[in-house]
C-alpha cells in the first residue's frame, strides 16, 4: 500500500509521513467496515433506496449538507474565494439558506406526504410519465457527469499535492465507494456522509484558526490582501455589486438575488434529488421539515473552512495563483489554494487528517451521486419502462448492480473530463441545464392545480433547451454575454446565474401558456400533490424550541446578520 | 437512530474516528515537540492540542453512543 501510494512525482507539494498514511488507511478501513456492517439492514427496497425512512432530523440534516460537500465543492469554492473574494460566500448564504428553509417549511410536506421515492417520482404522480421520464434521464446524465468531474478533480489534486498516480487515486477511491454503497445502499451513503462531515471540519478548521493567528485577525488579513492586491475589493459582499465592473466576478446584484437566490439555489436545494433524497429518509414529517433547517445552520458555517482559507491565501501565500487554463510549470492554480494552505500550517498527522478530509469529501460526493443515480434508474426508468412488475428483491438487486455500474461509468466520465481543459467551469452550467427549469416545473405543479401534464413536460423541455442554447451561444460568441448576462464584463459564474434565470423564466412562461390551452386534471387525482388540495398535517402541539418555523426564523435572522456584517 | 433495525448510532462511529485520530495526532505532536516540522506557526504545537481535543470529543461520543447503552 505504502509503495503504491508513493508512486511519486518530483513536483509534488508535500510528503506524507507514516502517521499520515495510517490515518488515510484507517479511514478506508472504517468506511468499508461500516458498509459491510450495514449490508444486513438493507434488505428491502425501502431500506436500500430510502434508508428505511427512519433517520432522525440531525442525521438526515447532516447528510443533506454533506452530500453537497464533495471535493469539488471544497477545492472549487476555496479557489473561487481566492479568485473572486468573499463574493463566493453568496453561494453558501443567499445561494443556499433561503432555499433550504423553503424546502423544509413549504415543499417537504408534499414530497413526504406523497411518499415519493424521488423527485422524478413526484413528477410522475403530478405530471405523468413524459415529464418524469425527461427529468429522470437528465438527472441520471447529470449525476454521472458530476460524479466523474468530482473524481477527476480529486485525482488531479492528489497528483499535484502528493504525487500520487492519477489512475491509482481514481480506482482505489471509487471502488471503495462502490463497495460500501452497493452493500448498504442509502444507509451506507448517509452514515459515511455524516462521518465525512465531522472529518472535514476536524481536518480543515485548523487552517482558518492558524491563518487568522498569522495575520493578526480579520483586520490584519484584510490589510494584507489590500497590500498584495491594491485597488481590488475582495472582502465585501454587497457594496461592490452595484455595477458589473466594480467586483472581480463581473456580477450585478440582480444576478445574485434573482439568478442565484431565486432560481439556481432554489432549484438545486429543492429539486436536485441528490440532496432531497437525504431528507426523504427522515423518520417522520417533523424530522423531514427540521432536517433542511438543521442543515442550513451548518451550511451557514461552511464558509469558515472553505471561503476563509481562500481569502487567507490572498493574504499570506507568497505566490499569486492563476487560472488552471493559464498554468505554467512551477505555478499553482486557484483550485490548489486549500491544499497549499494545508501544507503551510499542517505537519505530520494534521496533514494526513486534512488529506483524508479531502478524500472523504470526494467519496461522500460520489456516494451521493451514485446512490441517487441507482434510485432514479431503478424506480424512475427501469421499473416504469423496462420491467414493471417484479419482486422487491429484484429491484434491490438492480440497485446494487446499478451502483457498481454507475461508479464504472463515472470513472469513464472522469477520463473524459481530462480531455477538456475548462471542464470545471461547466459544472455550474450543468446545474443551469437541468436544475433551473426543473424548479419551475416542480414549484408550479405544487402551487397551481390548473397546471396540466402536457404543460409540465413542454415547460421543462423548453427550459432545458433554452439553457443549453444560451450556454452554447455565449461560449461561441462573446457578444451574446452582453445580451444574456446583461454585461460583457460578466464572468463565468455571473453568466451561469443569468443562464439559470432565463431558463427558469422560459419554463414558467411555456408551462403557463400550455396550461391555458390544455385540459386540467380532475381535483381528485391531485390530492396530496398540490397545495390547495392537500391537508398538510398540523404539527403536534410542541414547545417553541421544537417548532420548525421557529428554527427557520432563527436561521433567516442569522443569514441577515451575516449579510450586514460583511456588507 | 433506528427504531426498526437497532443499528449502532452513527455518532458512535464518529467517536471511534475522532478517538483514533486524536491519539495518532497527539502522539505525532509529542514526538516532534523538540523538532517541530518546517511549517508556519509550528511553535504553537497545534497537533498536541488539536489531538487532545479530538480525543476528548471522540471519547465522549464513544461513551455516550456505545452499542448496548440504553436510551435515557
SS (H, E, C) A121-183: HHHHHHHCHHHHHHHHHHHHHHHHHHHHHHHHHHHHHHHHHHCCCHHHHHHHHHHHHHHHHHH
Residue given cell 518530483 in the structure block: A10
- Contact of B52 with chain A, judged by CB distance below 8 Å, is answered with no
A525-537 pLDDT, tens digit per residue, is 888 888 888 776 6
* Domain membership flag for residue A530: no
pLDDT of residue A427: 67
Given a cut of 60, whether residue B72 has pLDDT beyond it is no
Q: Which pLDDT band, with edges at 50, 70 and 90, does A515 fall under?
A: very high
- In this structure, the number of other CB atoms found within 10 A of the CB of residue A431 comes to 22
Cell of B67: 452499542
Q: Which pLDDT band, with edges at 50, 70 and 90, does A539 fall under?
A: low
Q: What is the pTM of this model?
A: 0.86
Which are the contacts of A555, defined by CB distance < 8 A and separation ≥ 6?
A97, A100, A101, A293, A296, A297, A300
A418-432 pLDDT, tens digit per residue, is 655 444 556 666 777
A185-189, A449-453, B28-32: least confident range? A185-189
Determine the average pLDDT of the residues in A441-462. 92
CB-CB contact of A295 with A65 (8 Å): yes
A126-156 pLDDT, tens digit per residue, is 999 899 999 899 888 888 888 888 787 777 7
Name the residue range of residue A113's domain. 2-418
A84-104 pLDDT, tens digit per residue, is 899 999 999 999 999 999 999
Given a cut of 80, whether residue A2 has pLDDT beyond it is no
pLDDT of residue B70: 57
Name the DSSP class of A546: G
Partner-chain contact B39 A345, CB within 8 Å: yes
Alpha helices in A51-87 (DSSP H): 57-66, 71-84
Across chain B, mean pLDDT equals 87
Q: Tell the burial category of A382 from Cβ atoms under 10 Å away from its Cβ (0-12, 13-18, 19+).
A: buried
pLDDT of residue A9: 41
Q: How many CB pairs under 8 A join A and B?
A: 98
Concatenated DSSP letters for A456-507?
HHHHHHHHHHHHHHHHHHHHH-THHHHHHSSSTT--HHHHHHHHHHHHHHHH
Given a cut of 50, whether residue A3 has pLDDT beyond it is no
Q: Which pLDDT band, with edges at 50, 70 and 90, does A32 fall under?
A: very high
pLDDT of residue A242: 82
* Domain membership flag for residue A366: yes
B20-53 pLDDT, tens digit per residue, is 999 999 999 999 888 888 888 888 999 999 999 9
Nearest CA in chain A to B38: A347
Write down the ipTM of this complex.
Answer: 0.93
- In this structure, the number of other CB atoms found within 10 A of the CB of residue A210 comes to 22
Which are the contacts of A378, defined by CB distance < 8 A and separation ≥ 6?
A49, A395, A398, A399, A402
Residue A214 has its nearest CB partner, among B13, B24, B40, at B40
Helix A392-417 and helix A350-375, axial crossing angle in degrees, nearest 10: 120
Q: What is the domain count for chain A? A: 1
Q: Which pLDDT band, with edges at 50, 70 and 90, does A417 fall under?
A: low
* Alpha carbons A277 and A116: distance in angstroms, whole number: 10
- Contact of B56 with chain A, judged by CB distance below 8 Å, is answered with no
A210-268 pLDDT, tens digit per residue, is 999 999 999 999 999 999 988 888 888 988 888 877 777 778 888 888 888 888 888 88
Cell of A414: 472522469
Residue given cell 502517521 in the structure block: A19
pLDDT of residue A42: 85
Partner-chain contact A41 B17, CB within 8 Å: no
- Contact of A36 with chain B, judged by CB distance below 8 Å, is answered with no
More confident residue, A441 or A142: A441
Partner-chain contact B5 A52, CB within 8 Å: yes
Partner-chain contact A348 B37, CB within 8 Å: yes
A315-355 pLDDT, tens digit per residue, is 999 988 888 777 788 788 888 888 889 889 988 899 999 98
3-state secondary structure of A330: coil
- Contact of B13 with chain A, judged by CB distance below 8 Å, is answered with yes
pLDDT of residue A290: 92
Residue given cell 470529543 in the structure block: B57
* Alpha carbons A147 and A142: distance in angstroms, whole number: 8
User: How far A40 CA sits from the closest chain B CA (Å)?
Assistant: 10
* Domain membership flag for residue A555: no
More confident residue, A64 or A542: A64
* Alpha carbons A366 and A88: distance in angstroms, whole number: 23
Which are the contacts of A564, defined by CB distance < 8 A and separation ≥ 6?
none
Q: Which pLDDT band, with edges at 50, 70 and 90, does A7 fall under?
A: very low
Proportion of chain B in helix, strand, coil states, percent, rounded to 5: 60, 0, 40
* Domain membership flag for residue A463: no
Residue A41 has its nearest CB partner, among B5, B18, B41, at B5
Given a cut of 50, whether residue A498 has pLDDT beyond it is yes
Amino acid at each position: 500500500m505504502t509503495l503504491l501510494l508513493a508512486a511519486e512525482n518530483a513536483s509534488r507539494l508535500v510528503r506524507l509521513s507514516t502517521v499520515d498514511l495510517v490515518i488515510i488507511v484507517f479511514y478506508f478501513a472504517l468506511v468499508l467496515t461500516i458498509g459491510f456492517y450495514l449490508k444486513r439492514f438493507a434488505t428491502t427496497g425501502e431500506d436500500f433506496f430510502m434508508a428505511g425512512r427512519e433517520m432522525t432530523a440531525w442525521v438526515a440534516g447532516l447528510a443533506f449538507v454533506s452530500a453537497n460537500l464533495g471535493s469539488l465543492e471544497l477545492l472549487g469554492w476555496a479557489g473561487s474565494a481566492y479568485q473572486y473574494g468573499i463574493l463566493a460566500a453568496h453561494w453558501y448564504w443567499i445561494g443556499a439558506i433561503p432555499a433550504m428553509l423553503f424546502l423544509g417549511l413549504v415543499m417537504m410536506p408534499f414530497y413526504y406526504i406523497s411518499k415519493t421515492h424521488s423527485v422524478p417520482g413526484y413528477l410522475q404522480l403530478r405530471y405523468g410519465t413524459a415529464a418524469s421520464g425527461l427529468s429522470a434521464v437528465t438527472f441520471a446524465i447529470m449525476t454521472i457527469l458530476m460524479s466523474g468531474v468530482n473524481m477527476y478533480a480529486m485525482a488531479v489534486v492528489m497528483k499535484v499535492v502528493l504525487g500520487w498516480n492519477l489512475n491509482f487515486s481514481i480506482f482505489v477511491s471509487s471502488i471503495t465507494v462502490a463497495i460500501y454503497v452497493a452493500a448498504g445502499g442509502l444507509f451506507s451513503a448517509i452514515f459515511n456522509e455524516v462521518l465525512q462531515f465531522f472529518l472535514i471540519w476536524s481536518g480543515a478548521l485548523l487552517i482558518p484558526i492558524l491563518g487568522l493567528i498569522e495575520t493578526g485577525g480579520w483586520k490584519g488579513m484584510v490589510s494584507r490582501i489590500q497590500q498584495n492586491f491594491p485597488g481590488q475589493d475582495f472582502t465585501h459582499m454587497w457594496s461592490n455589486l452595484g455595477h458589473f465592473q466594480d467586483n472581480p466576478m463581473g456580477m450585478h446584484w440582480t444576478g445574485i438575488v434573482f439568478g442565484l437566490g431565486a432560481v439556481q439555489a432554489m432549484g438545486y436545494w429543492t429539486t436536485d434529488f441528490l440532496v432531497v433524497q437525504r431528507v426523504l429518509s427522515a423518520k417522520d414529517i417533523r424530522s423531514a421539515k427540521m432536517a433542511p433547517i438543521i442543515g442550513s445552520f451548518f451550511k451557514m458555517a461552511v464558509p469558515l473552512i472553505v471561503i476563509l482559507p481562500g481569502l487567507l491565501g490572498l493574504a499570506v501565500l507568497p505566490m499569486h495563483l492563476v487560472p488552471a487554463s493559464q498554468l505554467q510549470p512551477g505555478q499553482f492554480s486557484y483550485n490548489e489554494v486549500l491544499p497549499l494552505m494545508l501544507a503551510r500550517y499542517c505537519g505530520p498527522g494534521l496533514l494526513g487528517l486534512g488529506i483524508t478530509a479531502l478524500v472523504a469529501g470526494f467519496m461522500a460526493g460520489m456516494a451521493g451521486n451514485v446512490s441517487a443515480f441507482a434510485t432514479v434508474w431503478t424506480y424512475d426508468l427501469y421499473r416504469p419502462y423496462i420491467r414493471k412488475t417484479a419482486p422487491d428483491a429484484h429491484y434491490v438487486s438492480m440497485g446494487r448492480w446499478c451502483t457498481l455500474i454507475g461508479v464504472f461509468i463515472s470513472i469513464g466520465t472522469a477520463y473524459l473530463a481530462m480531455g477538456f481543459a475548462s471542464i470545471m467551469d461547466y459544472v455550474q452550467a450543468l446545474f443551469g441545464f437541468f436544475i433551473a427549469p426543473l424548479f419551475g416545473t416542480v414549484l408550479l405543479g405544487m402551487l397551481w392545480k390548473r397546471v396540466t401534464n402536457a404543460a409540465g413536460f413542454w415547460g421543462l423541455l423548453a427550459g432545458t433547451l433554452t439553457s443549453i442554447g444560451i450556454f452554447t451561444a455565449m461560449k461561441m460568441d462573446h457578444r451574446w454575454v452582453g445580451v444574456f448576462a446583461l454585461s460583457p464584463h460578466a464572468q463565468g459564474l455571473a453568466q451561469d446565474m443569468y443562464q439559470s434565470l432565463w431558463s427558469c423564466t422560459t419554463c414558467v412562461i411555456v408551462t403557463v401558456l400550455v396550461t391555458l390551452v390544455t385540459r386540467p386534471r380532475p381535483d381528485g387525482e391531485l390530492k396530496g400533490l398540490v397545495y390547495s388540495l392537500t391537508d398538510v398535517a398540523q404539527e403536534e402541539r410542541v414547545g417553541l424550541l421544537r417548532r420548525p418555523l421557529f428554527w427557520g426564523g432563527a436561521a433567516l435572522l442569522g443569514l441577515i446578520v451575516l449579510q450586514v456584517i460583511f456588507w | 437512530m433506528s427504531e426498526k433495525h437497532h443499528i449502532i448510532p452513527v455518532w458512535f462511529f464518529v467517536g471511534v474516528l475522532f478517538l483514533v485520530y486524536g491519539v495518532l495526532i497527539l502522539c505525532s505532536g509529542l514526538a516532534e515537540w523538540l523538532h517541530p516540522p518546517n511549517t508556519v506557526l509550528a511553535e504553537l504545537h497545534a497537533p498536541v492540542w488539536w489531538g487532545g481535543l479530538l480525543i476528548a470529543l471522540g471519547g465522549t461520543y464513544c461513551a455516550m453512543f456505545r452499542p448496548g447503552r440504553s436510551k435515557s
